[in-house]
Amino acid sequence: MSKRQVNFGELPELEYGIKEAFNSLRTNLKFCGKDIKNILITSCMPDEGKTEITIQLAKAMGEDGQKVIIVDGDLRKSVMVGQHHLEVLGEQLGLTHFLTGQADMDHIVFPTDVKGVDIILSGHSTPNPTALLGSPAYGELMAKLRREYDVVLVDSPPLGAVIDAAVMAPHCDGAILVIETNRISHKFAQEVKKQLGIAGCRVLGVVLNKVVADRHGYYNGYYKGYYEKYTD
């Protein structure tokens, strides 16, 4: 085993309907065009499940033979390691270390125990995340990852809460908006969508998350990933 690795451990076994939803999301993203490689994943508010969506989508893409990297872009309050119980083997260097010149790219990219998936952790929290994400170093990193991977999934802070995702968006080819069922108003979602548009980032679609099972129990479980294209 590599001395530098991130282990996701036992990812939850998805029920058939949920797994098919992620496979559908993966396939629909392919149909968005071969130039769609850097994908921002954001939400309106915290705790809508975007990090779990990011992890499971990366897993589905890796299983499909794609070379994928997850970038944990939450430099304020990342839950990637703590909430999802990742095991980090080696010094926990991450995005903030790269953006502040403390580490180069080779030292912040970790292989994982998920087939085809690498990861860049957020690193230490920082008092000036917006300035770091708006720096030339961040743009250079995203450009290099775009050349070296089939897909770059950027897990960003919720855009309805902080502006960071809008700063990161210009370096992405499109965005996925994760929305928790019965929590976010249509108006709020449209405001977040507008912010992405102002940032010059195309909204690829929406994942409706934490859908309540119907009376037949067809979609049981904590969440269901559902993809819907915008048709403006």
- Report whether pLDDT(230) > 50: no
pTM of the model: 0.87
Q: What is the pLDDT of residue 2?
A: 52
Could you give the CA distance from residue 62 to residue 105 in angstroms, rounded to a whole number?
21
- Around Cβ 193, how many Cβ atoms within 10 Å? 18
Element at 143 (helix H, strand E): helix 136-148
- Report whether pLDDT(11) > 90: no
Q: What one-character DSSP code corresponds to residue 113?
A: S
C-beta separation of 150 from 100 below 8 A: no
Rounded to 10 degrees, what is the CA torsion of 72, 75, 80, 86?
90
Digit-coded pLDDT (tens) for 78-107: 878 776 778 889 888 999 999 999 999 999
Q: What is the pLDDT of residue 140?
A: 97
Among the ranges given (23-27, 130-134, 210-214), the one the predictor scored with the smallest mean pLDDT: 210-214
- What domains appear along the chain, each with residue ranges and CATH number? 5-228 (3.40.50.300)
Could you give the CA distance from residue 98 to residue 175 in angstroms, rounded to a whole number?
24
Could you give the CA distance from residue 58 to residue 166 in angstroms, rounded to a whole number?
22
**Collapsing DSSP states into helix, strand and coil, what is residue 228?**
strand
- Report whether pLDDT(222) > 50: no
Q: What is the pLDDT of residue 41?
A: 96
Q: What one-character DSSP code corresponds to residue 5?
A: E
Q: Which residue from 5, 70, 57, 198 is spatially nearest to 190, judged by alpha carbons?
A: 198
Q: What sign does the CA torsion over 177, 178, 181, 185 have?
A: negative
Could you give the CA distance from residue 8 to residue 10 in angstroms, rounded to a whole number?
6
Residue 221 has phi, psi (to 5 degrees) of 115, 180
